[in-house]
């Protein structure tokens, strides 16, 4: 087991609902709708009250906030509103020159919309097939410039994933799994499904190899990160971060973030755990880890993958 040194730490009470990367750091949203812009040293560059819980945020020249009432673009330093588009907006993500959003229309149809980030004007729309009905949508990175991944989730009813590109919509295998995590060049991706971590080819979806979770006492969590050196991290349900060699799909290491050591999971349950919740790769070779109580830690992603 290796301890990963941190480059910066911070605490953002109340609980951090989610965090997204931007060119110079991260943007964190709290459960109460406060959006905090952080630089790479986790210094607060701006704090903006969104007025209530938000669905998603994305930051480039403007801070984009999506919620169930509207999509808003604001000055990231002052919070001054630049434009607003009414409607139920479930997700947003900058990709190349476009701002992609996921929206639910009055007919309950789901649509991915490419917009001009400066004005919010629509560039193109792509209908998202929702086989379940009433699903939620999240947007993630895709290796193709200007493209995104749309992950459609309906809880226990299932999940389906699409690549939304200039060529249109293409489903990514398999169904009923977490969003794909692309490896290095984007030629392959990782998918976590049914307690297994599958390494698949982007072009075809074919499985290259798979790893099965080894611990019955502490099951697989939902955070997977592609790391330098041909390895990936896969966190457990109790916050232990394991390292998997993608060449052999063998578990080769475990890491803990400095300041967040192993501890018993609960009173009467000595199963080792940590405060780790999830990670967000960021700029300049850094990765943000989010921990219990709004604790944040930045570290070098190369250190995560440097197993012996």
- Let me know whether 229 and 293 are in one domain: yes
- Let me know whether 184 and 304 are in one domain: yes
Overall domain count for the chain = 2
Domain range for 94 = 55-172
Residues in contact with 272: Cβ distance below 8 Å, sequence separation at least 6, in sequence order:
218, 238, 240, 262, 263, 264, 265
- Let me know whether 69 and 185 are in one domain: no
* Model confidence at 224: pLDDT above 80: yes
Reported confidence tier of residue 105, pLDDT bands at 50, 70, 90: very high
The per-residue pLDDT of the chain, averaged, comes to: 95
- From 143, 172, 201, the end of a domain falls on 172
Asked whether residue 207 is domain-assigned, the answer is yes
Beta strands per DSSP E along 5-69? 6-11, 16-22, 25-30, 34-39, 44-49, 56-59, 63-66
Over residues 150-178, the pLDDT tens digits come to: 999 999 899 999 999 878 899 999 999 99
Please give the angle made by the CA atoms of 160, 166 and 169, to the nearest 5 degrees.
25
How far is the CA of 157 from the CAs of 135, 140, 160, 194, in angstroms? 9, 21, 10, 14
Asked whether residue 304 is domain-assigned, the answer is yes
Q: Please say whether the beta carbons of 271 and 264 come within 8 A.
A: yes
Asked whether residue 13 is domain-assigned, the answer is yes
- Let me know whether 132 and 236 are in one domain: no
Asked whether residue 24 is domain-assigned, the answer is no
Q: Output the pLDDT for position 204.
A: 95
Asked whether residue 28 is domain-assigned, the answer is no
Reported confidence tier of residue 14, pLDDT bands at 50, 70, 90: confident
- Let me know whether 242 and 271 are in one domain: yes
- Let me know whether 230 and 258 are in one domain: yes
Q: Output the pLDDT for position 227.
A: 97
Percent share of the chain, pLDDT over 90:
89
Over residues 267-305, the pLDDT tens digits come to: 888 999 999 999 999 999 999 999 999 999 999 999 999
- From 123, 155, 172, the end of a domain falls on 172
Reported confidence tier of residue 184, pLDDT bands at 50, 70, 90: confident
Over residues 209-220, the pLDDT tens digits come to: 999 998 778 999
Tokens of 291: 């921990």
Over residues 236-250, the pLDDT tens digits come to: 999 999 999 999 999
Q: Output the pLDDT for position 266.
A: 87
Domain harbouring 84, CATH code:
2.130.10.10
Reported confidence tier of residue 189, pLDDT bands at 50, 70, 90: very high
Q: Output the pLDDT for position 139.
A: 98
- Let me know whether 186 and 299 are in one domain: yes
Asked whether residue 65 is domain-assigned, the answer is yes
The sign of the torsion formed by the CA atoms of 177, 187, 208, 235 equals negative
Asked whether residue 47 is domain-assigned, the answer is no
Q: Output the pLDDT for position 308.
A: 62
- From 134, 154, 172, the end of a domain falls on 172
Percent share of the chain, pLDDT over 70:
100
Reported confidence tier of residue 96, pLDDT bands at 50, 70, 90: very high
Asked whether residue 33 is domain-assigned, the answer is no
């Amino acid at each position: 087991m290796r301890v990963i040194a941190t480059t910066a730490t911070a605490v953002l009470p109340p609980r951090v609902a989610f965090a997204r990367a931007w060119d110079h750091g991260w943007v964190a949203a709290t459960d109460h709708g406060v959006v905090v812009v952080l630089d790479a040293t986790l210094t607060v560059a701006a704090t903006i009250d969104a007025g209530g819980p938000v669905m998603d945020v994305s930051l480039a020249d403007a801070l984009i906030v999506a919620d169930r009432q509207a999509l808003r673009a604001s000055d990231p330093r002052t919070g001054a509103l630049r434009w607003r588009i009414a409607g139920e907006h479930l997700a947003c993500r900058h990709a190349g020159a476009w701002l992609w959003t996921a929206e639910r229309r009055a007919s309950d149809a789901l649509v991915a919309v490419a917009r001009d980030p400066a004005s919010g004007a629509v560039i193109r729309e792509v209908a998202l097939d929702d086989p379940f009905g009433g699903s939620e949508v999240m947007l993630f990175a895709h290796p193709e410039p200007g493209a995104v991944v749309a992950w459609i989730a309906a809880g226990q009813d299932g999940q389906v994933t699409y690549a939304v590109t200039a060529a249109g919509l293409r489903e990514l295998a398999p169904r009923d799994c977490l969003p794909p995590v692309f490896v290095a060049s984007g030629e392959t991706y990782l998918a976590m499904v049914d307690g297994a971590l599958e390494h698949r080819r982007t072009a075809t979806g074919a499985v290259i190899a798979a790893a099965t979770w080894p611990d019955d006492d502490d099951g697989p969590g939902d955070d997977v990160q592609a790391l330098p050196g041909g390895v990936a991290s896969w966190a457990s349900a109790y916050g232990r971060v394991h390292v998997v060699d993608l060449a052999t799909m063998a578990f080769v290491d475990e890491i803990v973030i400095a300041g967040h050591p192993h501890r018993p999971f609960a009173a009467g349950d000595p199963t080792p755990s940590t405060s780790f919740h999830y990670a967000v790769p960021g700029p300049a070779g850094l990765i943000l880890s989010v921990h219990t109580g709004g604790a944040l830690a930045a570290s070098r992603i190369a250190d995560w993958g440097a197993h012996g």
